[in-house]
């Protein structure tokens, strides 16, 4: 704890990679746990770009069940989210690359957040590209685009979620890699580093000057290849360190 506190104090540019452990501490179920959403293989198969194109109405029913349960909708930022936002307020240059889709980093006040797997709080029309917020998504059993096209008629296409589906590429990967190479400190928080390609990012940090610290409840396969490991809850460790 003392070492990480010293590293934070000495660092101006900090890149954070956050994973599911950040969300579970806010009461959001882990998708990949034995009892998580992806334990239902049929539901997991339906969360793909192929299924969205072939059965868009059924896709939205399953998508809402998978992603928009009460656990996520009622979740609030926890102490770890707030600590990272506070760190930015102290004048540090903090970039947060998150594998989570819940928007809790932004809700906590972090300003430079890059959602590698998208967000459940947005959807867009695949034709006219108009964006819609969470309130509209929840209000419609199957959300359609209500914009007018150039002919003055309803666009009326079924929306696509902003969330990255199976079969789609993650976002901001190259930017995250460069950010890690150019940082003084890389913090990996609440990630087991088993989901690729995000799990490849720590190796880019080692190509630069950054020290790499990992904060996670359980051991990971990368514990032996980073500079510092703290096992425990992020919501307890980060506020204490920062």
User: Does the annotation flag 190 for ligand binding?
Assistant: no
CA distance 186 to 210: 6
Query: Which of 12, 105, 112, 117 does the annotation list as catalytic?
Result: 117
CA distance 61 to 38: 16
User: Is 231 a residue of the active site?
Assistant: no
Find where tokens 């890699």 sit. 177
User: Does the annotation flag 23 for ligand binding?
Assistant: no
User: Does the annotation flag 82 for ligand binding?
Assistant: no
Instruction: Give the helix ranges, DSSP H, for the chain.
Output: 2-10, 20-24, 41-46, 49-54, 56-67, 70-73, 79-89, 104-108, 134-139, 173-181, 201-205, 234-241
For residue 93 the two structure tokens come to 């240059």
Find where tokens 């994973």 sit. 19
User: Does the annotation flag 128 for ligand binding?
Assistant: yes
Known binding-site positions for Zn(2+) = 125, 128, 145, 155
Known binding-site positions = 125, 128, 145, 155
Active site residues: 117
């Amino acid at each position: 704890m003392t070492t990480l506190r010293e590293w934070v104090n000495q660092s101006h540019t900090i890149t954070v990679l956050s994973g599911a452990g950040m969300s579970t501490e806010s009461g959001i179920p882990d998708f990949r746990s034995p009892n998580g959403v992806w334990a239902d293989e049929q539901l997991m198969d339906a969360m793909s770009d192929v299924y969205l194109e072939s059965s868009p109405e059924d896709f939205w029913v399953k998508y809402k069940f998978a992603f928009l349960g009460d656990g996520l909708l009622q979740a609030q930022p926890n102490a770890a989210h707030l600590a990272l936002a506070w760190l930015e307020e102290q004048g540090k240059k903090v970039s947060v690359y998150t594998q989570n889709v819940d928007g809790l980093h932004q809700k906590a006040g972090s300003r430079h957040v890059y959602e590698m797997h998208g967000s459940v709080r947005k959807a867009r029309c695949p034709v006219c590209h108009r964006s819609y917020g969470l309130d509209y998504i929840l209000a419609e059993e199957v959300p359609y685009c209500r914009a007018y096209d150039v002919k003055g008629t309803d666009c009326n296409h079924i929306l696509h979620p902003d969330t990255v589906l199976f079969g789609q590429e993650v976002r901001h990967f190259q930017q995250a890699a460069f950010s890690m190479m150019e940082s003084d400190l890389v913090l990996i928080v609440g990630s087991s580093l088993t989901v690729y390609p995000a799990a490849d990012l720590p190796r880019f940090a080692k190509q630069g000057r950054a020290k790499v610290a990992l904060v996670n409840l359980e051991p990971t396969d990368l514990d032996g290849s980073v500079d510092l490991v703290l096992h425990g809850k992020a919501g307890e460790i980060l506020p204490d360190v920062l």
